[in-house]
Amino acid sequence: MTRRLTLRVGEMVLVLLIVSLGVFALVALLPGDPAVAILGEGHPASTYDDLRTELGLNDPMLTRYADWLGGALTGDLGRSVVPPRSDVSDRVVSALPVSVEIAVLGLLIALLVAVPLAMWSAYHEDGVLDRMISAGTFAVLSVPGFLAGLLLIMVFVNALDWFPRSEWVRISDGDLLGNLHHAFLPALTVALVELAMFTRVLRSDLIVTLREDYILAARAKGMPPLRILFTDALRPSSFSLVTLLGLSLGRLIGSTVIVEYLFSLPGMGSLVVNAANQGDFPMVQGAVLVIAVIYVLINAGIDLSYGYLDPRTRKAHV
């Protein structure tokens, strides 16, 4: 286990180095002059030269990367180049909880609905409800996320007036119910596609597991279906679901741009898009690096969890 953990840490460090270099290089090689993007046109050439010197843009790219990475390792992601020139770390700390909360709530909603649906569907394979659930999940997957969000807004905001369309209440303000009231509809929008994917993936794995000899023996002994499903079948059928869950959480933290736009949420997606539009390259680099770190850490944790889900994987790595 110690050897495996050491290998995973080494892989994580290597991946993060590659990602950080790639992000820095892509942003640095973007066409256009950052000084002109920041100041606008019409200024004297000396003004642009002074800004390039201040930002270190005249240094070689590897030198700038080394300076940036050294600061990032100490928690200093630089400063925004767009007024009011705030610290990148402060903006990320403000935006990250919003995206994390929406992503986590969305995945919780998806799991709470998908697991029972998948278990019922797999246990009654090819039944009427199984076909209805399969058709329903396929229909949900066919609807684009932005369209699902608009439909939810039309029904629950415009028609029923149950939820707010915009604004955001933070948990740190001491209003948990208000926070959940504002977060539920965006989280539901995120949850719909994940719910459908989780249901289909878990159903397929459960069908295979339910055909195993030990499951057939449990059925022959007259074990209750719920005990068979929850105790014997669910855990060994969860590999694909757990992997998909980790991938989804890391992806949603940085890719809920449409949802954040529809509901005017101050999350990471909005932060990156606005920074890119304004030419704020330190903000883009810092935000993407944070998202990459979270993504890598989540998937490393998912990989280590396989040993708990199935002891056979621990033996395979010995």
Q: What angle is formed at CA 70 by the lines to CA 67 and CA 76, rounded to 5 degrees?
A: 100
Tell me the pTM: 0.78
Please give the residue that has the higher pLDDT: either 68 or 307. 68
Whether 90 is covered by a domain: the verdict is no
For residue 315, give both structure tokens. Answer: 């033996």
Residues 61 and 188 in one domain: no
pLDDT in tens, 72-125: 888 888 888 777 778 889 999 988 888 888 889 999 999 999 999 998 888 888
Dist. CA 158–CA 71, nearest whole Å = 47
Tell me which residue range forms the domain holding 181.
Answer: 95-316
| The domain boundary residue, chosen from 73, 104, 136 | 73
pLDDT in tens, 37-81: 677 777 788 887 887 787 777 778 888 888 888 888 888 888 887
| The domain boundary residue, chosen from 73, 108, 128 | 73
Q: What is the CATH number of the domain that holds 310?
A: 1.10.3720.10
User: What's the whole-number mean pLDDT along residues 295-312?
Assistant: 68
Residues 128 and 262 in one domain: yes
pLDDT at 112: 92
The CA-atom distances, in angstroms, between 106 and each of 99, 102, 185, 192 are 10, 6, 9, 8
Residue 87 DSSP SS3: strand
Whether 84 is covered by a domain: the verdict is no
Residues 155 and 297 in one domain: yes
Residues 29 and 124 in one domain: no
The CA-atom distances, in angstroms, between 252 and each of 16, 24, 103, 189 are 19, 22, 6, 12
